[in-house]
Chain A
Amino acid sequence: MKRISCEHETDVIRALRSGEWTTELRLHVAECLDCSQALHLAEALGEEARRAEIHCNPPDPYWILQRSRRMAREIAMRRMTRLLAVMRALAAVYVVAAAVWLLRGYAALQYREVASAMHGSASMFALMGAMVAAAFVVVGLWPILRQSGERG
């Protein structure tokens, strides 16, 4: 099987970074092409990194914190407005469905049939409608209550 790289390469890099060289490792680097290549490259890149750090002028962390807070608010706002939009759409669908149901169902019935219908299968539909409405209300209130709980 072809050897890909020397198993001591990691030790060489670690020794270069810490400055703790053993005699064996120094002798090994002198003989091993992979390790000497890795060492030379690490030295060259390390020098370049030190040079780059001199020219690096990172912004004050205060601005990073400010920006992250702004981003957090934007993300939360996007999430909440999306939820509200969904709730509004569902509410609109519910209103339209209820209106159609009332117009096509109850409006066609005689006054006497309305009362009798309330005792039969129609009462089940009415109950289901009320339950759906209640579910929508709970879903809509849930994020508001949760946020209030977290703040409280």
Chain B
Amino acid sequence: MEDASMIAGWITPGREQTAAGEEGFRRLYEATSRPLWGYLQHASGRPDVADDLLQETYCKFLLSKAPAMDEARTRSYLFRIATNLLHNRSRSRDDSAIEEPAECGAESDEDARLDVRAMMRQLKPRERELLWLAYVEGMSHAEIAAATGLGAMSIRILLYRARQKASGFLHPQRIKS
């Protein structure tokens, strides 16, 4: 314990510990926390997971030694951290109950089919991530590639498939025709 208290005294303050850094972080947090939470909630399918990962995303961002970035890059970087945390979580924990698609027939009525949340539950996590980043966050294919760690060339086809699948759940009659 003596070592621990001694070492704690050596640690230099981080960049967020200055008043300007704190104010900058507050502004960034105000601008990005809600969209990021929405992404985490819809990609994971769970609000409690979104709450946890949101905090963890910002902590990792503050601890990272990334160089100064503009607003767009910072936003993209935050989504990248969040996506990595989602993947780490799905690898290390049993979230199969959330990720399993709902049983066929359970979404038989028209209202349920039109429900976006029901549609999202039918999709794989990767598909949910791609759709959200492309259609809600309006990211380009290159930005999605950076955020998900996928190849830029494969984004186009994966997004196309995800969109086809999602539209099939929203409008099955249109896809069949």
**Which residues in A have some Cβ–Cβ distance to B below 8 Å?**
4-5, 10, 13-14, 17, 37-38, 40-42, 44-49, 52-53, 55-56, 58-59, 61, 63-65, 67-69, 71-73, 75-77, 80-81, 84, 144, 147-148, 150-151
Binds A, one of B67-75, B91-99, B104-112, B153-161: B153-161
Chain B, residues 117-139, CB within 8 Å of chain A (1/0): the string is 10110000000000110111010
Q: Contact: A72 with B14, CB < 8 Å?
A: yes
B residues near A17, Cβ cutoff 8 Å: 138
B residues near A48, Cβ cutoff 8 Å: 42, 116-117, 120
Q: Contact: B138 with A77, CB < 8 Å?
A: no
Q: Contact: A40 with B8, CB < 8 Å?
A: no
Given contacts A56-B34, A68-B16, A72-B14, contact A45 B132 (CB under 8 A): yes
Given contacts A48-B117, A49-B35, A81-B7, contact A40 B131 (CB under 8 A): no
**Which residues in B have some Cβ–Cβ distance to A below 8 Å?**
3-4, 7-8, 10-12, 14, 16-17, 22, 25-26, 29-30, 33-35, 37-38, 41-42, 47, 51, 54-55, 58-59, 62-63, 116-117, 119-120, 131-132, 134-136, 138, 140-141, 156-157, 159-160, 163-164, 166-167, 170-171, 174
B residues near A42, Cβ cutoff 8 Å: 135-136
User: Nearest A residue to B8 by beta-carbon distance?
Assistant: A73
Partner of A52, one of B17, B42, B140, B174: B42
Q: Which 4 pairs from chain A and chain B are nearest by CB?
A: A147-B10, A42-B135, A68-B62, A58-B33
What's the Cα separation between A14 and B135 when bound, in Å? 9
